[in-house]
Structure 1
């Protein structure tokens, strides 16, 4: 019996000497829902800043990233996340009630974009230049539309607004506005000012051959009835409501790689603002 034990032990030593290592199962890829063509956020080629952010998060988790792309933003949660086609949605509003959201990884705001030379910088919705502007480029259904109505400039921009639409999808008439096009309206002199979400516009403002000024809009705007209109928002990662384990992993990853995340956002030229004391996170 002792001889058999010794022979068996010797065999194990020989096996170890042959360089065989214990086999560990590789973690599955982190499936990230991202836009197939919504630059500067993401595209199929991985050229958006959200593509880069997702790669950093996946790397921190020790997983490869697999992008699951969508074409229509209205059905990401219902048709992709909830059906298990992806594990996480990047670029979600913090506190979105459809999902669990991580603590925000950045907070930004809407901006006024004007030509640097020959144009006065616009700093607020009370600025007289907005009332005199011949054309103002903005995206319908966003906070700028609310304020355009409040200052009485929505109706006279109605036709111009529809000229800016990129296309309509066949599915329920989803209308898309290209961020690059709206910025180019200002750089090309077709519009006096554009009012856009900062992260959507920053890349094109930096790349413009015509010097442009991007001014962060204060977060203290009100409608005619006194109701506040928010212009600063926090962005998070979203997971299914029952996936609390992944939520905790993602929050730790964001915390550990916060410096790299900030570097990517700053390189993009995105205006960053501090988080309020109470951050809205869905639970």
Structure 2
């Protein structure tokens, strides 16, 4: 009789464990199918790793929902409830409710270490003399290259760097590793990229490269500031205050661990301004 009781008890415990596992809530995270080094469908990006860490800390099972076109995924996925969280959005993105920032970084100048270029800011002689400067259109780099009179010089070369066009509306994509490699192979003297997008490839380059964070004190010809440092947050659907609160607490409590994950990719981290530290 005691043996039977023990068997029934063991079965009950086993069934209970299965039930708990089955009822574990999921965290649906929207990630890009192929936007390295941020994320891809194989989970190799640093945002993939951060998403897994966040899910574990919340006691949830990660469910990845991939998108292919960055222009529409918030409308087509987040707003329709197909995912709960978006990693790596600008703090204060008006389309979402955003957490307190979990890191701040900046755009960088990238050059070959052996060249010993003095790249402190946009008045650098190296920028005036460079024959080829790799950059992505529509970024602050383009604005400042126009301001110093180097944009037209680079126009034809910049067209060579476009490595992908989608069939839908001809969305043009530039590969970060390709632009870093332009410098590593000597095809360009300088690249100007968002630090988190470039860091992994700078770190992995067989040619020693130098990555210098661009100061955040630049202005256009009309005197308007051009920002080069930005804070990054996690985005959730507007109105999901419960999840937002949990994520804010996680960021506050686990900031050191989050920074370790980012630093493992070589990402340059900057101090947050006081205004960025307030919780939503």
TM, length-normalised to structure 2:
0.92
Check the 8 A contact 1:34/1:68 in 2, yes or no: yes
Deviations 1:141-185 (A, max 9, x none): 001010011001111111111100011111111100000000000
2:101 maps to 104
1:178 maps to 175
Question: Cα distance, 1:118 vs. partner?
Answer: 2.5
2:9 maps to 18
Check the 8 A contact 1:100/1:282 in 2, yes or no: no
3-state DSSP of counterpart to 2:163: strand
Separation in structure 2 between the aligned mates of residue 268 and residue 98 of structure 1, nearest angstrom:
28
1:33 maps to 30
3-state DSSP of counterpart to 1:53: helix
Q: 2:270 aligns with which of 254, 273, 278?
A: 273
Separation in structure 2 between the aligned mates of residue 51 and residue 281 of structure 1, nearest angstrom:
26
Separation in structure 2 between the aligned mates of residue 120 and residue 194 of structure 1, nearest angstrom:
12
2:121 maps to 124
Separation in structure 1 between the aligned mates of residue 118 and residue 202 of structure 2, nearest angstrom:
15
User: Would you say 1:142 and 2:139 are equivalent positions?
Assistant: yes
Separation in structure 1 between the aligned mates of residue 249 and residue 211 of structure 2, nearest angstrom:
33
Separation in structure 2 between the aligned mates of residue 168 and residue 136 of structure 1, nearest angstrom:
22
User: Would you say 1:82 and 2:73 are equivalent positions?
Assistant: no
Deviations 1:170-218 (A, max 9, x none): 1111100000000000000000100000000001001111110000000
Q: Can you give the 5+ residue segments of structure 2 that lack an aligned partner in the other structure?
A: none
TM, length-normalised to structure 1:
0.91
| Paired residues, number | 270
Separation in structure 2 between the aligned mates of residue 181 and residue 17 of structure 1, nearest angstrom:
62
Separation in structure 1 between the aligned mates of residue 52 and residue 253 of structure 2, nearest angstrom:
14
Question: Cα distance, 1:257 vs. partner?
Answer: 2.3
